[in-house]
Amino acid sequence: MGRKWNNIKEKKASKDANTSRVYSKFALEIYVVAKQGEPDPEANQALKFVLERAKTYNVPRNIIDRAIEKAKGGTEENYDELRYEGFGPNGSMIIVDALTNNVNRTASNVRAAFGKNGGNMGVSGSVSYMFDSTAVIGIEGKSEEEVLEILMEADVDARDILKEEDTVIVYADPDQFHAVQEAFKSAGINEFAVAELTMLPQNEVTLEADAQAQFEKLIDTLEDLEDVQRVYHNVDLGE
């Protein structure tokens, strides 16, 4: 699973280089989740999860507070959660998650991004069956053995625990996300290098240089779309 963590790091590094885009996407997600439930993270687990993710991307507090206040205002702005699946160069697989107040606009933009960059849209389920929904939580300053002991004491199950450079990564079922975090917090660990619910590919593929360049352009184009929140894929992007 080590390569999967590297791909997550690469995605985080890419987003860190585009902070205004990252912040606007988080602001929208926080607004939508807070509007769907309670604006209090202690009473809204979905909001609590988004805020935990936002913290790992260093989203400023004023942006978070503004999004929550907007949700409290009771605006009539409604958003749909959409998932698109498709293929990039050489059969690479891509999943695109979006939040939108205009489904036709989003579908058209996503389809155009695929079509102009060597890809094509697939039907629902054509790609996602090759991915596993997974909680990925990383901490620094502990060994694999120490992390395993923390989880065992809290009676929390994990799929895998791996050390990647200075970070220990816990892979777990999605419904164990909060349990893993609470186990760490009970052990005095409150900072996370990564805290994601993500889609991890069951198998990764490697592309030749030209195909990889085209693939990376496709991913960048998709992530630049205003309505797109997250993009997952099965390509090993290398070091």
Is the confidence at residue 14, as pLDDT, over 70? no
Would you say residue 238 lies in a domain?
no
**Do 32 and 68 fall into the same domain?**
yes
Residues 6+ away with beta carbon under 8 Å from 130: 93, 201, 202, 203, 234
The residue range of the domain holding 192 is: 131-201
pLDDT score, position 37? 83
pLDDT score, position 112? 97
Helix boundaries (H) for the chain? 2-16, 19-36, 45-56, 61-72, 103-115, 144-153, 177-186, 209-224
- Residue 239 binned pLDDT confidence (cut-offs 50, 70, 90): low
**Do 51 and 143 fall into the same domain?**
no
**Do 64 and 179 fall into the same domain?**
no
Task: For residues 191 and 56, give the distance between their C-alpha atoms in angstroms, rounded to a whole number.
Answer: 8
**Do 218 and 195 fall into the same domain?**
no
pLDDT in tens, 18-77: 688 889 999 999 999 998 888 888 888 889 989 988 988 889 999 999 999 998 886 777
pLDDT score, position 1? 47
pLDDT in tens, 164-210: 888 899 999 999 999 999 999 999 999 998 899 999 999 999 999 99
CA distances from 136 to 9, 64, 66, 158, 174 (A): 11, 22, 28, 10, 9
Q: How many residues are there in the chain?
A: 239
**Do 6 and 67 fall into the same domain?**
yes
- Please give the share of the chain, as a percent, with pLDDT higher than 90: 70
- Residue 43 burial class via C-beta count within 10 angstroms: exposed 0-12, middle 13-18, buried 19 and up: exposed
Task: For residues 169 and 176, give the distance between their C-alpha atoms in angstroms, rounded to a whole number.
Answer: 14
**Do 213 and 119 fall into the same domain?**
yes
**Do 196 and 209 fall into the same domain?**
no
Angle 181-131-202 from CA coordinates, rounded to 5°: 95
pLDDT score, position 157? 92
**Do 92 and 114 fall into the same domain?**
yes
Count how many domains the chain has. 3
Q: Which of 19, 97, 17 is nearest to 59 (CA)?
A: 19
Would you say residue 239 lies in a domain?
no
**Do 146 and 114 fall into the same domain?**
no
Query: Which helix (H) or strand (E) covers residue 59, if one does?
Result: none
pLDDT score, position 91? 84
**Residue 74 corresponds to which tokens in the numbers above?**
């009771």
Q: What is the CATH number of the domain that holds 211?
A: 3.30.70.980
pLDDT in tens, 116-137: 999 999 999 999 999 999 999 9
pLDDT in tens, 63-121: 999 999 998 886 777 899 999 999 999 989 999 999 999 999 999 999 999 999 999 99
Estimate the share of the chain in helix, then strand, then coil, as percent rounded to the nearest 5. Answer: 50, 25, 30
**Do 110 and 209 fall into the same domain?**
yes
Q: What is the CATH number of the domain that holds 67?
A: 1.10.10.200
Sign, Cα dihedral of 81, 85, 88, 93: positive
What's the rounded mean pLDDT across residues 155-163?
92
